[in-house]
Amino acid sequence: MKMHRPKYFFLRLLSVITLIAALWSFVAVAFDIIDLQIDDPTFRTEYSYQFQNLQDSLRVGLSFLIVMFPVYLGTLALLTQAYKKKEVSKKDVTPGWFVYASIFVASIIILISMVVLVNNLLDGDLTLRFLSKLLVLFFVSGSIFGYHLWYAKKTQ
């Protein structure tokens, strides 16, 4: 069995970083689209300024998503290929650490997003916006946790 610990360590690190960036950008893009699609009459006085900020935020989020998500998928493909070729052991402790680290960071991002959503709701944000964003967070968190459970079983 070949051992390329530094190579696979950094591939796993890259996969965690790109997952976090893709997660953040997906949530940001979804929230911006919801804000653009669901009109809030309380913000009409500053609409043109707010619309420009949303467009800028959407552009940045899409840029991150377009770059980071394919890199994440590519690193997962390389790691899966390495497992199949037995270049790295499935019993190695490192993959578990990275899986738990990515789940931990994803949880933090989701919890912070939930706090921001509740704060916006208490500040008078429309309930439809709140519920739509909450659904996005449930979808993202369920996808992340479900995928990691599936991937952990697949690579064991």
Instruction: State the average pLDDT over residues 130-136.
Output: 86
Contact of 75 with 14, CB cutoff 8 Å: yes
Give whole-number Cα distances, 109 to 12, 30, 116, in Å: 19, 14, 11
CA distance 50 to 48: 5
Q: Which amino acid, one-letter code, is at 27? A: V
Band of the pLDDT at 150, cuts 50, 70, 90?
confident
Instruction: State pLDDT tens for residues 82-116.
Output: 877 777 665 665 666 777 777 787 788 788 888 88
Give the pLDDT confidence score for residue 98 in this predicted structure: 72
The overall longest dimension of the chain from CA atoms, in Å, is: 66
Instruction: State pLDDT tens for residues 33-78.
Output: 988 888 766 655 455 556 667 788 899 999 999 999 999 999 988 8
